[in-house]
Structure 1
Amino acid sequence: MSVDYQQVLADLRAQLGKEAVTDDPVRRFAWSTDGSYFRIVPEIVVHANQTEEVAKVLAVARTHKAPVTFRAAGTSLSGQAVGEGILLMLGYDGFRNISISDDANHITLGAAVIGAEANAKLKPLDRKIGPDPATLTSCMVGGIVNNNASGMCCGTTQNSYQTIESAKLLFADGTRLDTGDPDSRDAFTQARPELLATLTELAKSTQADTELADRIRQKYAIKNTTGYSLNALVDYQDPFDLINHLVVGSEGTFAFVEEVTYRTVPEARNKASAMAVFHNMVDASKAIPPLKTDAVAAAELLDWASIKAVTGKKGMPEWLSELPEGTAILLIESRANDEAQLQAYTEQITQSIAHIETLRPIEFSSDPAVFGQYWAMRSGLFPIIGGERPKGTSVIIEDVAFRVEDLANAAADLSELFQVHGYPEGVIYGHALDGNFHFIITPNFRRKSDVEQFDRFMQAIADLVINKYDGSMKAEHGTGRAVAPFVELEWGPKAYALMKKLKEAFDPDRLLNPGVILNEDAEVHVKQIKSSAAVDDYVDRCIECGFCERTCPTNNLNMSPRHRITTLREIERLDQAGEHAKAQKMREAAQYDVIDTCVACQLCTIACPVDNNMGMLTRKLRSEQLTSTAQKVLDFQANHYKGVNQVLSTGFDLLHGIHKFTGSTITGGLMKVGRVITKEVPYWDPSFPKGGNLPKPTQSGEGRPVVVYFAACGGRTFGPTPEDPDHTTLPDVMVTLLERAGYEVRVPDNTRQLCCGQMWESKGDYKNADGKRKELIDALEAMTDGGQHPVIIDALSCTKRTLQDAGVDYTLVDAVDFIHDHLLDKLELVNRKAQVALHVGCSAEHLNAGSKMNAIAEQCADQVIRPERIFCCGFAGEKGLFKPEINADALRNLKSQLPEGLNEGYYANRMCELGLTRHSGISYRHLAYLVEECTRPAGS
């Protein structure tokens, strides 16, 4: 029957509220993408932060027979995180609990915990979780479990299936189960006896069928995530053990995974890596069996096409260009808890393959700078190929597995298929110890013939992997829609029938992620393919993997860079198809989400494997939207910035005075009236600062070193807030600190007129932005006496903007660098703080200032608190004054992470500090304040 989604929407909103549920066309489309090549637009999107909310969604789904797809981080590569009907996305604040047992042998993780976050908690204990997918810094535990994700080191012995201890589950019928809790098991026995009986009988009959049981064991001798985890039926008899392990790799089709407890595995303290360069793939493959020992943690195989793809690229070894055609490389890593054991391991490895001739000596290095280059070669394959693909094409990573003894021949056969089916760019690399190959192709899906070409290729892959080598069509990426048509071919009718019985037992109404894993449509793998229309060089390389989402400050508010890019691609596709009215309607509807609320922090570029820059594209799009009136206003501000800056500073002093005498209600009312008149009036907030002031140069002193100090706009415009402990402004603190360290301080006479240009660039006005930057650079250069004196800027974002292009011919540093490198050793530490909070924001990340900021704070405080999952404050220059919802959302979890009694926090950018102060309830100021107070002479 057809589903009345308007009624579904109404019922969901009645249960969860309007904010958690949307059918907005733009947002539904934006969230219809994962890391795969599929595009499936849901009817409704729900964000859930609690299991009770998931239960309510499932109750509505049962009532209306509406399908539900669960989604964690959406990094999935096989189309299992998108679906029709209701898309239930893990919220950005719930399911993030982490609990480690006293002996560190177990860790309990909420479904939304990112894998790398779990390992960060375990690292001091020399433990980690077993699964180690390449997406570990982005993917969430819910996805890791549901896909049985693995990686370079965990193989088939430390993946989720092997290391899961227990799980908290919510089933489609609303029943719950904690497989690690006896009381929960007893209750479930009463609630779902038929499921337990069915699973027990299926295990019994499978184990009794010797041929089938042997087939299952054989299939899992190598990596395999094709279909359901049938190995559970031969490995276990207890129905709760069966549920525990059947849910692993079930891709959200059996139950909602709320929480999982893993048995942790050792994390070695010492590592060493080596490049073994062989004449050909045959020799490289011969080296793999001897390497399958405890001495080898990972062995990654790269074929000749892979080597060619990275040769000559930034960060790659120069000697790659000297290798002859046909060369193959094994990148080998060894790990141990002490150096002696590591040395023994590396010697054992070298000796074990000494009988195979190599083109270069096998030399292990334990220097991270050296072996880091080796692994950059391996990890660089994907971004290099993805980034260099032709515009408008997709990038697809498939993963297959073979018996180790078949690897060389299988690689040759795969390479031949690339040529036969028109994908000459295809490369092969992978986890050699497990017989696991990844291959990358960059198909074009613009025409029907393109899709047919891809279908022929996949059919040929299936024939090769299944019929010729009896391998796995999916080794570690999950089945999804990409391989669903080939599950029965790989497993055979008897095993496939077993999978159908499992689905029927867990989800008889087929509400959970229908069409994933089991699908009778033989062409589902070539349907609902997403387009990849070219938009702009800044983002055309995007593969929609979602790596950017973790650090984006607006990901919870509305969109991440991935969402913005996929929306822009659809607008462009509609325009190219001649559907201009639809394109314009979507463009207008997407303005707030895509353009207006992007803070252009460019953290996405740091996280992105192919170096996309949504921030710069946003500024470019804003530039195209500038009206002549807006441009005139921006021109006036640039040409008369001295007066504008003075008015702003004086205005905030005046505003502070009005508030003091009239209170927030009247002041807020006046500001509201002002906003009706002009958009240049900000939203009122009681934590608004007073006005700032300019720095005063010091008396010249003979023999004292000279520094030129430029007070950036934020610090000279915005002074202390009501939460700050004193009324000293940043320019005054900086001059005091520099004088105390023995420096003569010079400041530009026309400081009020000078600016790095950031405020114009953020609006897309590059003409004035670049003009103001050049004006600043020239003015500062004139004060350096031919480059003799360094220049200090006291705001990280301004330093970044000033230094972003070539053209600064003198020493220009940020205040953080100067304090760390030149002041700390010249100042006597008089007192230390008990604890302080530290924010390391987007500009600090871009300038690699985080470690120095942390070092400064640790010099001055016994404990430094770094709130988690806050990478950018969302204030974005003056945007926080006019769109406060961005700053509020980005910092929504800040206050709850600050310990009781902590009353001061630090950063190095005044605008960001205003936002941090507003949403923390404590004073956030520049690190210079902390150093000044801790080195202030007694009695001063």
Structure 2
Amino acid sequence: MDIPAFHQALTDHIPPSRLITDAARRFALGTDASFYRMTPQLIVQIDSEAELLIVLEQARRFLVPLTFRAAGTSLSGQAVTDSVLVMLTSNWRGCRIEPLGERVHLQPGLIGAQANRKLAYFGRKIGPDPASINACQIGGIIANNASGMCCGTRHNSYHTLAGMRLVLADGGVLDSLDPDSVRAFRRSHARLLKGISDLSLRLNRSSELAERVRHKYRLKNTTGYGLNALLDFEDPIDILTHLMVGSEGTLGFVSEVSLNTVPDWPHRASVMVGFDNLSHCAETVSQLKAAPVDAVELLDSRAVRAVAHMDGLPAFARRLPDPGGLLLLDVRGETLEQLDLHCQAVQAVLDSAGVNHSTGFTRDKRRIDAFWTLRKGTFPAVGAHRAVGTTAVIEDVAFPVERLAEGVATLQALFDRHGYEEAIIFGHALEGNLHFVFTQGFDDPSEVRRYEAFMADVADAITGTLGGSLKAEHGTGRNMAPFVEQEWGKDAYKLMKALKKLFDPQGLLNPGVIINDDPQAHLQHLKLMPQADRLVDACIECGFCEPVCPSRELTLTPRQRISLHREMQRQRREEGLADGWQDRFDHQAVDSCAATGLCEAQCPVGINTGELVLKLRAERNHRYTRLARAMGRHYAALASITRAGLWTARSMQRLTGPQRLERWSGAVRKLSGGRTPLWLSTLPGPARPVYAPNRTTRPSDREVLVYWASCVSQTFGAALDDQNRSSLPASVLSVLRKAGLNVVMPQPTRGLCCGQPFQSKGHFSIAEQQRQELVDELWEISSGGRFPVLADTSPCSLRVREAASERGIQFYDSVDFIDRFLLDRLHIEPDPQRVAVHTTCSVQRQGIASNLARVLDRLTPDWVQPDGMACCGFAGDKGFTQPELNASALRGLGDAVSGCAYGISTSRTCEIGLSRHSGLTYLSLFEVLDRLSQPREETAAV
């Protein structure tokens, strides 16, 4: 293995920016969701299949092992390596849907949930539905034969496979849906196909082994290679493509997959039922097998207690005895009538089974969501409350449904025997598939020995008397590789080794995964979780946060920031921080973080990585505290200076042209090493500040509204190319007059700020002082909270909302104010044009995205929201100081909104970046409402 020579050979074909050798970044990007830690010596980010072929060619030449990585949400160690990690760029997100949506062609970099959103128009979805579907990518779904709560075995990746384009270790390419490709492959790879046919014949001739394989795949099973392909198909091409499913990147690379989709019925009902003992529960599950039920989830009594603090848990669940448990059932229907029939059929089964406790079926979406939030909260409940320094281990096993109660009892007994008192069990009961979660430390040899003994006992129990599978849906990985032969037996294991040798004779593809003859392999490279900071110590490194992070393709994601921070804290305590790591961390983790907090909503344990970043900024920016305090005291003057600067920039734009000025600014920025801001072509000119009328309010006044115009909306006016655009405060006041409302505004308007500019730089005390001054003013002018307060900028609303609510102020963002008060007070003529929409981070975090959707449906019914752009990355001033963050977050925006007339947002700074990268003009929600609305003769009372 000669990785330096391999790296050098790639430099002629792949840009250096996609050949990552920096030690700190290799450590961060090498992290996945498993409890294994291996740091790659080189990371290669490939842009195309052509680049992949080059990588494979040089790997064969220099005997360099490769591991392919999709999203890194896999749990069993199949996506880590100490050799070369091959990752995908954003160019691998293609999706092509056939007419009627019954088949879809997907590239491996597309997130599973994104595929489903594209298929929703047809009322279809992909079959696999793993719990990580909002983060995991198609490549990982196929590589691990993912399933989930609803798909069982019938709709998993294997059974919904329609075709595949793949690349083998020798560089051979096969597109199974292209007859020309198939014919060429039959000629070029006749030896491989004959070897596959010979292995199929060998298995079919052994009736005992063949029956064992069939039995194993009546259960959910992802342990080892999919030997069922050798029985299910005769054509070696079909066998080959189905062997690739679940092969975890050890047999080849899937560059495109074609899946048959399944119906996504719109009507839904759920019921939660309780049992005093799991034997009764298991018997009921067996009877439900033939019922029209989509999902049956089991929680043992320990799992129920773990989520007892969450909303939605029925009272009877809190009184369950230790041997008891819950079942959560989901029923779907294409029509309401069909849903009724399905619910009746399932209820009949429950009645005949003599169910002890039941909530009854509910169709209320909020209550259904609460039920399923409870189910999904079981894993985080253990992960969030584990001891610092330990990790949450989740395993999944399966056994015949009739052995369900026995299986749960066996696992609980093993927990008690080995001292895992916090361990819980939950899972997909209809398939006999159970997950169990426990906490484990790997920093003490005695703890490793305890884990070793426990896993040995689990393997003996599952593969012995219970006749189950050690891996039902999480993949074999490194964790179960030493137990594959124990589960399958010597003959089946020989077949698997022969398959590996046939596909990958040099053993270069993901070595150590699935096939590993080292009985101690699962005890090597165990991930340590050292204490780093209370804000992030609960992180389980699952990667669920990554899809919403605007810096995910530029520097690091929240998971990677936390992982790197942990390692740096460990180094400081033990051997001292490695050279260069702090500088790289400052840029990649601190400076390039938008700190919008979107990651918190995706995180199963509720971590806001932005809070850590802001804390680190506070430590670094401490020397600027006096300057920040002075700026806070004279904020009105600062706003005036900013407007003067915008006036100067506007004058220069008139002389040179906006695009030329941006190019010149970019050249200066490059010469300064990125120290100077970028003057954007879409930079607005100055706005005229709003002077409020001197008007006092009395508690007896009616139709009164307090309008707080943010400093941003009073500072930024129209861009040079959009002089017909009015300022945001002017539009707001125009709409409020049409609605017949009496408006009062804080005095003095220009000197008030929510404190966000100071908060984002880590000056927390100054930011809090600014916020409290604003809230005090709003409290006074709203007559002690009697009159509602409207804020026109969503990031500022997010900053103030909680503090205002604590003071008893009725505080509204522009989104929920329009939705609640204005739509019925105005005559609105909807705009028939297609319009692009950006739902800002602050709207999402305030929980008012649904309000925005209702408003848009009234104003611009033909609106589109580009997928995969949760945050624009402008982040206040980062669009000027870190413009590459904004550019990375909005890559592809122009194509996504082509054909749109204009865009809509609720943050003036976000609109600057959105306009720049889309070619459209983005307007505020109030500006659009002003254009489309007229007064009504009669208006509803506020």
Give the TM-score range, shorter chain: over 0.9
Structure 1 residues 666, 214: closer, same or farther in 2, change over 3 A? closer
State the alpha-carbon separation in 2 of the partners of residues 115 and 667 from structure 1: 38
Query: Shift of residue 29 of structure 1?
Result: 0.3
Query: Who is 1:685 aligned against?
Result: 680
Contact persistence 2:70–2:109 (CA under 8 A): yes
Contact persistence 2:568–2:577 (CA under 8 A): no
Give the partner amino acid of 1:872: C
1:411 aligns with 2:408: yes
**Aligned-partner SS, 1:480:** coil
Once the two structures are superposed, what CA deviation does each residue of 1:657-700 show, in whole Å capped at 9, x if it has no partner? 12312456578658977999999962222222101222244697
Give the partner amino acid of 1:875: F
Query: Shift of residue 833 of structure 1?
Result: 4.7
State the alpha-carbon separation in 2 of the partners of residues 713 and 620 from structure 1: 25
Query: Who is 2:268 aligned against?
Result: 271
**Aligned-partner SS, 1:439:** strand
State the alpha-carbon separation in 1 of the partners of residues 597 and 778 from structure 2: 27
1:39 aligns with 2:37: yes
- Counting only pairs closer than 5 Å after superposition, residues 238-637 of structure 1 correspond to structure 2 as 238-361=235-358, 363-576=360-573, 578-582=574-578, 585-628=580-623, 630-637=624-631
- Picking from 46, 49, 73, the partner of 1:48 is 46
- Counting only pairs closer than 5 Å after superposition, residues 490-889 of structure 1 correspond to structure 2 as 490-576=487-573, 578-582=574-578, 585-628=580-623, 630-663=624-657, 682-697=677-692, 705-724=703-722, 726-805=724-803, 807-830=806-829, 832-889=831-888
Structure 1 residues 845, 189: closer, same or farther in 2, change over 3 A? same
Contact persistence 1:830–1:937 (CA under 8 A): no
Contact persistence 1:698–1:744 (CA under 8 A): no
Query: Shift of residue 554 of structure 1?
Result: 0.3
Structure 1 residues 676, 496: closer, same or farther in 2, change over 3 A? closer
- Picking from 183, 186, 197, the partner of 1:186 is 183
**Aligned-partner SS, 1:103:** helix
Query: Who is 2:940 aligned against?
Result: none
**Aligned-partner SS, 2:790:** strand
State the alpha-carbon separation in 2 of the partners of residues 826 and 566 from structure 1: 52
Contact persistence 1:880–1:887 (CA under 8 A): yes
Structure 1 residues 228, 723: closer, same or farther in 2, change over 3 A? farther
Once the two structures are superposed, what CA deviation does each residue of 1:341-389 show, in whole Å capped at 9, x if it has no partner? 3333333333334354433146222222233322222111011111111
Contact persistence 1:9–1:23 (CA under 8 A): no
Contact persistence 2:840–2:907 (CA under 8 A): no
Structure 1 residues 371, 51: closer, same or farther in 2, change over 3 A? same
Query: Shift of residue 191 of structure 1?
Result: 1.2
Structure 1 residues 651, 155: closer, same or farther in 2, change over 3 A? same
Contact persistence 2:312–2:371 (CA under 8 A): no
Structure 1 residues 581, 278: closer, same or farther in 2, change over 3 A? closer
State the alpha-carbon separation in 1 of the partners of residues 683 and 119 from structure 2: 41
State the alpha-carbon separation in 1 of the partners of residues 449 and 230 from structure 2: 38
**Aligned-partner SS, 1:273:** strand
1:899 aligns with 2:898: yes
Query: Shift of residue 706 of structure 1?
Result: 2.1
Contact persistence 2:738–2:935 (CA under 8 A): no
**Aligned-partner SS, 2:566:** helix
1:926 aligns with 2:924: yes
- The answer for unaligned runs of 5 or more in structure 1 is none
Query: Shift of residue 716 of structure 1?
Result: 1.1
State the alpha-carbon separation in 1 of the partners of residues 725 and 260 from structure 2: 53
Query: Shift of residue 560 of structure 1?
Result: 0.5
**Aligned-partner SS, 1:482:** coil
Contact persistence 1:723–1:922 (CA under 8 A): no
Structure 1 residues 698, 931: closer, same or farther in 2, change over 3 A? farther
Query: Shift of residue 642 of structure 1?
Result: 0.8
Contact persistence 1:34–1:544 (CA under 8 A): yes
Query: Who is 1:132 aligned against?
Result: 129
State the alpha-carbon separation in 1 of the partners of residues 294 and 41 from structure 2: 45
Contact persistence 1:659–1:667 (CA under 8 A): no
Structure 1 residues 713, 113: closer, same or farther in 2, change over 3 A? same
**Aligned-partner SS, 2:834:** strand
State the alpha-carbon separation in 2 of the partners of residues 569 and 103 from structure 1: 49
Query: Shift of residue 528 of structure 1?
Result: 0.5
Structure 1 residues 744, 42: closer, same or farther in 2, change over 3 A? same
Contact persistence 1:309–1:384 (CA under 8 A): yes
1:29 aligns with 2:27: yes
Contact persistence 2:111–2:138 (CA under 8 A): yes
Give the partner amino acid of 1:84: D
- Picking from 49, 66, 80, the partner of 2:78 is 80
Contact persistence 2:310–2:374 (CA under 8 A): no
State the alpha-carbon separation in 1 of the partners of residues 254 and 221 from structure 2: 21
Contact persistence 2:274–2:317 (CA under 8 A): no
Query: Shift of residue 337 of structure 1?
Result: 1.9
Query: Shift of residue 725 of structure 1?
Result: 5.3
- The answer for unaligned runs of 5 or more in structure 2 is 937-942
Contact persistence 2:301–2:320 (CA under 8 A): no
Structure 1 residues 121, 873: closer, same or farther in 2, change over 3 A? same
Contact persistence 1:161–1:245 (CA under 8 A): yes
Query: Shift of residue 850 of structure 1?
Result: 2.1
Once the two structures are superposed, what CA deviation does each residue of 1:132-178 show, in whole Å capped at 9, x if it has no partner? 11111111111111101111121111111111010010111111101
Query: Shift of residue 772 of structure 1?
Result: 0.1
Contact persistence 2:129–2:149 (CA under 8 A): yes
TM-score (structure 1 length as normaliser): 0.96
State the alpha-carbon separation in 2 of the partners of residues 671 and 258 from structure 1: 37
Query: Shift of residue 325 of structure 1?
Result: 3.0
State the alpha-carbon separation in 2 of the partners of residues 647 and 929 from structure 1: 26
Query: Shift of residue 294 of structure 1?
Result: 4.2
